[in-house]
Structure formats: structure tokens, C-alpha cells
Structure 1
Amino acid sequence: MSLMLPSALETPRSITGVAPGLLAALRGEGDALRPVRSAVLVVVDGLGAISLRAHAGHARTLSAAMTKKSVGGAVFPTTTAAALTSLLTGVAPGEHGVVGYRVRHPDSDVLVNQLTEWEAAGIDPLTWQSAPTVFERASAAGHAAFAVGLAGHMHSGFSRATLRGGRFVPAGAAADRVAQAFELADTHDGAFVYCYLPDVDKAGHKYGIDSAEWVAALEDVDAALSQRVPDGVGVLVTADHGMVDVPAHRHLLLDAAGGWRDGIRHIGGEPRMLHVYTEPDADQAAILARWRRDLEGLADVVSRAEAIDAGLFGPRVTDAARARIGDLLAIARANYALYDAEAEDQRGRGMIGQHGALTPEEWRVSSIRLGAFAS
């Protein structure tokens, strides 16, 4: 089965090029970004380029700095765990190994949430995600490296997998996080500073991207980024992915009564991009054919081999990453979401804004230059 891949997944303007580009700017060797005294990477989780442009009046700082070239592509799947890891390592999920939201641990045969369950699952962040981080590379080159975020993220397994090599500096409100990032960049010449803003993503999940709450979160982030950038400091603002609103009538429930669990051991991933793991003795070809037939027009269903051959997980897929990818993948179209009706935890069905699939709203992200990068 052939897939129509977003072209941004295959261009140098993918988010995998962000970290290398910033380090090159610190060395004075960059082509895309001019040399700077210090560099700040601001990631606004969940803020897709299409949503930003649609709400430009509520984000005057960001929209004023946008140009026709201020758009790049995310990675697949368009989910925080995979995409943030790509942003902070410079490689695609097939190489860093964080290939989805909930994936099967090949050794224990259990599904593991890649954001929150590292410790509970006994996963070693240093080996599960072994690609060097931008912080490790910056430190090795003699640059101070910092990560500014919420205090609750400081000691998580995901942070140890993606932020290692940097000094974590906690801060509260979005404006405080941005101010802290700018101050660190200003007082440590040659520094690489990462600032994480999850506020928009949280509002989108709970209320949707056209809600008053989402707009308020966007306005708050935009106001935070309107602060004066110190002289000689370059700031790049991007996102890990975008988002679409999924109404309740577009929820597709995969239940045992409908035959969806026949031959299936685990359903992982997330509602817009399922990792489906079959039983060891199952007829995978028959299952693939059945899922394609029953989800025709609603989702693209591909085998692991087809997804890898199509380059969905990047140009290189390690053996470790391959073992974590589902035997088949169900990638939602339009604004549908696929739910495992047999799962114990059904809280995800309350989410309005969702992501994970390949629509332009999900994979197209902004790349906005402020400070010395814009001058």
C-alpha cells in the first residue's frame, strides 16, 4: 500500500534540523541561521503553523515575525514523546527509538507510556533513547547548556532521556520561563538554552483549538515571547506538532464484539495513530486486510515493513526501534480518532484536540526567528 507523505517530512526544514542548526550558529558556521552570542530554542508544544495563522490576531508577536519560509515539518508520529525527542537529538524516531505515545516493551510485553511510565516500567533512559542530545553535544563543544521548564518535569524518565547533558532550571508561568531562558542566554556567552511551553497543548487537549481557553493560552505564550531579547542572542520558536479537534461523533470504538480484538494482543499508540501488536501465531496478512477494509476512508492501515519502507520513521530505523513499532499501524484521516473500547483507561475519550497522524494541521509547524536571528 502506498502512502502520500507530507513533503515536509522529507525536507531539510524538518524539526530534526533544528538542534544541529542552532549548534552551528553558536560555532559561527551556520548557513540557515546567522552566528549569535547565545541561542535559545523555544518549543510551544502543540502549536501548529495552520492554527497559529488562523489565530494570528491573538499572537501578534509571533505572527509579525512569520514569513513564507517560517514553516517546517514535524516527524511521525506527530506526538510529543517522539517529536520532542527528535527536536532535542536531531534524529528521527526510527533512530532515537521513541516511536510513539504508548508502545510495547519487547522484553516485558507490556505497553509503556513514553512520557510518564519510564520508572514504573523499569526502562533505562540512557539505553532506551541512546542518541546524543543537543545538550550533550553543546557541552562537549564547550557551551553551557540549560533546559528551562516546569519543576514537575525535572526528574522524569523522559527528561533524563531527552535533556541529559543540560542543567534543568525550573520556572513557573510561561513569562517566567521565557524570562529565565533569556537571562541564562545573556549571562552565559555561548550558551544553548531550551525553553519548553506546554500551555497551548494542554488547553487544546481539554478544550479544543478554537476554544476561548486555547486562545487565552496562545495569548499568554505570545505575551511571554514579546519580552526584549538580549543583544546578540538568537531565538528560534517552533513546535513539536500541531493539532486537530475531534468531535465525539468522529470517535471510532474498536471493540471485541466487532471483531477488532481478533488476533490482537495490544493496541498502543494514541487515538490518531495506533500501534497494533498481533498475537505471535496470528495471521498478520489477514488482520491487515480486515483492518484496511473496515477502516477504508477513515484511516490508512499499513504494516510495520510498509511504514519503514515508506520512510515514516525516518531514513534509519534501528533494530531496537523496529521491535517497538506495531505489527500494523492505523493512521487516522481527517478528524477521526480510533479508540480501544476494551482498554481499562478511557480518559482519553474526553480529549477534544488531538494529534499523532499526518494531516497538515498536525505535521506543519512554524519556525519563527526572534532576536539576533531575525535582525
Structure 2
Amino acid sequence: MSSVSATGELPIVPQYGRQTLSDLLPSIAYQFGVGDTDRLGLGAGEQWVVVLVDGLGTEQLEQVASRAPFLSGELRRAQVITAGVPSTTVTSLTSLGTGLPPGGHGVAGFTCRLPETDEIVAPLFWSSAMTAREFQPEPTVFEQLAGQGVAVSSVMPSRFEGSFLTVAGLRGGEVVGIDDEADQLLRITRTVEAAERSERSLVYCYERELDHCGHAYGWRSQEWLDCLIRIDRWCSWLRAELPEEVRLIITADHGMVDVPDDRRLVVEAEPDLLAGVRQLAGEARFRQLYLEPAETPRAVARRWADRLGDAAWVRTRDEAVAEGWFGPLSDRVAGRFGDVVVAMAEPAAVLTEQMPGEFDLVGMHGSLSSAEMLVPLLQPE
């Protein structure tokens, strides 16, 4: 099956352990004597603030550089890292928190199959009886550092405290809840206070608005640009308020692709594609197919590849694992990943009526294109 799209693009396969979002916190932890490698070469620091801007891809920032002078100015001297696969928030945030690739922590996408109960579950909207710690039992880097006496804080909307995703992927340390996300001064104040509460500290700060604007209006919209301008100013303000010795990292969980209406396939309108498929999950740009027991993954993958052509990178699970898409795949979570995965290579999407919210999205992500996978690792001084 072809790896090259009609535009000549190859899938961006993450370099886990060297150049991905999952390598960030282990690199910081090394500065506190936890772990054995500074994977990203960050260098020394005793106080750290990590700001994650949901949806801020490197390519999008480059294309509007003049409108976001602080962030784009830092981009000129920054590392570029990648998200994991799929390039989606729940997977990326868990990779950030645990320091593990998706194949290790098992948060396999916006939705995925839970083999133990045969349910399709969504970590953002959890409905299964399985607890967050049962779903993702691996220790987080936050837990490890807090256990070594580092003052760990997470500055986030108050309603996220105790949420399934927070407990599964970001647990550990103190949650600093923000009731009003629009109160930018309060967020600055709380972040600075958290950084200064100990000589050894790590603060994680989550900014979610850009992703919402991208989904609703597209990343090329004025609404998205206005949001980025606000975030750019806020990040500049934060750097000015933080003491000089506090290391500031600004990164993201994924980028985004705007998908036009005429590049949207509705899978229910394609009965041949559903032959042998028992369950669908994932996202519109990274569809995961769970097959009937008698079905052969290779045959289903070939059928999808023939239909989608250069618009998609179609792989069986075994092929995707062999190519390194998910990192080493734990037996505990292998069944959460589709028997066949369909990653869109062009600005296109495979929608399903089982997830009606997808039809309202303009900007999407989840696949292995450079627009979705490449994220900045900014270190403003």
C-alpha cells in the first residue's frame, strides 16, 4: 500500500524517545535526578513552566508568523518535535503526562474500543465502569516528580480537576483550578505563584481555546487568528512576569487541517467499506476499524486503500506497529487500536453517522501529515 500521497507527502512517523511530545517531561525530570536521559537536550533548570497550547501546529504558526510575533520569533531558534499517533488531544496529553508513546499508555484516540467490555469509549466523555486508573495505570511523570519532593502544579480550568482524562494521564501534584478562563491576569498570577512556591518546581498550564476555534471555524479563519493573537500576547506577558531563572517551555499537542465539504466521505454511504467491520472509532482523519472475527485485516485494508487511493495511508495494526506509528505496543492495550487504521494523507476525512459532531468540524486532526504532526518546542528566555 502506498505511503506517498498525491501531493508527494510521506507520513510523519514519530521518533519516540528522541523527538516527540512524550519526551518532554522525561527530559525535565532528568534535571531533578529522575530518569537517565535528557532526551531533548533541554539543559539544567530547577523551576519549570510548561504551557501547552492545544492545536498550535508548527506549520500554522509559520504561516501567520507576522501576527504572532512573540511565538514566531521564538520559533526561529526552536526545536520542532512531533505529536504521537493519532495526533489528537487525549492521546497527546497522556503521552505528555506519562512520558510514554501511545502504544505504552493505551489512550488510543478520541474514541477507541475497550476489549474488556467490547465498548467504544471516549476518554473526554467517559461512560464505562472502568476507572481512569484501571484504564491507564502507568505512573505519570508528575507523580514521579512529586514523589521526589518537586512542587508539581497543573493550572487548568477548574472543571477539569478530577476528570477522567486528568486522572488517567495528568494525575500527580496539585491542581490549580481557574474558574474563569478569560481572566488572563488570574491565570498569569496563579502560574507564577505555582512556579515560585518551591525552589524545585514544575508547572503545567493548559490553553485550550485555539483548538476550539480551529474546529469551529478552521485554522485559516479570522476567529482562529484572533485567538492566536491573544495567546501570543498572553505568552509574552507570562514570560515577562516569570522570574528569569524559571525555564518556560511552550509547546502543543497537534496541528490542524481544514477539510472542505467536497473532501468528506460518509462511511455509511459506502456499504462496501463497512463489509466485515464490526465497530468504528477514532476520528475523521484517523479512522480505526475493528473487524468481525472471521475477517482478514489485510483484505479490509486493501479494500479501503483501493477506494481512498492516495488520499489515505491505510495500514493493518501490525503494519502500523512495524512502521513505528504507536511506539512499542503493550499487550495490555493492543486491542484498543484498530485492526485496520485509516489515516488521511490529504485534506480529506472519513465521517461516520455514529459520531454526528464530526459533521460540524471545519478544522480536524489525528493523522500523520506534517500539518498535524509537527509542533513547536519554544523556550523563550
TM-score, normalised relative to structure 1: 0.92
Amino acid at match of 1:180: R
Give 2:59's aligned residue.
50
Q: 1:178 to 1:276 in 2, by over 3 A?
A: farther
CA distance in 2, matches of 1:331, 1:279: 21
Contact 1:102 1:268 in 2 (8 A): yes
3-state SS, counterpart of residue 71 of structure 1:
strand
Give the alignment of 1:131-142 within 5 angstroms: 131-142=138-149
Give 1:357's aligned residue.
367
Give 1:9's aligned residue.
15
Q: Deviations over 1:299-327 (max 9, x none)?
A: 1211111111111001x210122111111
Q: Deviations over 1:227-285 (max 9, x none)?
A: 22223110100001100111111111112553222211111000000110111222433
CA distance in 1, matches of 2:372, 2:123: 19
Matched, 1:301 2:314: yes
Structure 2 unaligned segments of length 5 or more: list them. Answer: 4-9
Q: 1:160 to 1:325 in 2, by over 3 A?
A: same
Alignment equivalent of 1:96, drawn from 80, 105, 113:
105
Identical aligned pairs, as a percentage? Answer: 33
Q: How many residues align?
A: 366
Contact 2:287 2:341 in 1 (8 A): yes
3-state SS, counterpart of residue 260 of structure 1:
helix
Give 1:337's aligned residue.
349
TM-score, normalised relative to structure 2: 0.91
Contact 2:11 2:370 in 1 (8 A): no
CA distance in 1, matches of 2:304, 2:13: 26
Give the alignment of 1:287-298 within 5 angstroms: 287-298=300-311
3-state SS, counterpart of residue 146 of structure 1:
strand
Q: Deviations over 1:340-372 (max 9, x none)?
A: 24x2x41211101100001101000000002xx
Q: 1:257 to 1:96 in 2, by over 3 A?
A: closer
CA distance in 2, matches of 1:137, 1:46: 27
Give 2:207's aligned residue.
197
CA distance in 2, matches of 1:215, 1:225: 15
* Cα RMSD for the two superposed structures: 1.9
**How far off its partner does 1:199 sit?**
0.8
Matched, 1:105 2:114: yes
CA distance in 2, matches of 1:133, 1:38: 19
Alignment equivalent of 1:261, drawn from 261, 264, 274:
274
Give the alignment of 1:31-180 within 5 angstroms: 32-117=41-126, 120-171=127-178, 172-173=180-181, 175=184, 176-180=186-190
Give 1:237's aligned residue.
250
3-state SS, counterpart of residue 332 of structure 2:
helix
Q: Deviations over 1:114-166 (max 9, x none)?
A: 2221xx11122112112211210111211011111011211211111112112
**How far off its partner does 1:10 sit?**
5.0
Contact 2:52 2:251 in 1 (8 A): yes
Structure 1 unaligned segments of length 5 or more: list them. Answer: none
Contact 2:78 2:379 in 1 (8 A): no
Contact 2:13 2:324 in 1 (8 A): no
